[in-house]
Amino acid sequence: MPKFAANLSTLFPDAPFLERFALARSAGFDAVEFQFPYAFEPEQIVQRLRRYGLELVLHNLPPGDWNAGERGITCDPRRSAEFRDSVGLAIDYALELGVKRLHCLAGKLPSNVPQERAHACYVENLRYAAAQCRPHGIDLLIEPINTRDIPGYFLTGSRQAAAVIEECGADNLFMQYDIYHMQRMEGELAGTLRQYLPLIRHIQLADVPGRHQPGTGEINFPYLYTLLDELGYDGWVGCEYHPQGETMASFGWLAQERKRAAALLLDKA
Active-site residue identified among 82, 143, 166, 246: 143
Active-site residue identified among 43, 116, 166, 240: 240
> Using CB atoms within 10 A of its CB, is residue 269 exposed (0-12), middle (13-18) or buried (19+)?
exposed
188 is catalytic: no
240 is catalytic: yes
Spell out the SS3 assignment of the chain. CCEEEEECCCCCCCCCHHHHHHHHHHCCCCEEECCCCCCCCHHHHHHHHHHCCCEEEEEECCCCCHHHCCCCCCCCHHHHHHHHHHHHHHHHHHHHHCCCEEECCCCECCCCCCHHHHHHHHHHHHHHHHHHHHHHCCEEEECCCCCCCCCCECCCCHHHHHHHHHHHCCCCEEEEEEHHHHHHHCCCHHHHHHHHHHHEEEEEECCCCCCCCCCCCCCCHHHHHHHHHHHCCCCEEEECCCCCCCCHHHHHHHHHHHHHHHHHHHHHC
Catalytic positions, written as ranges: 143, 240
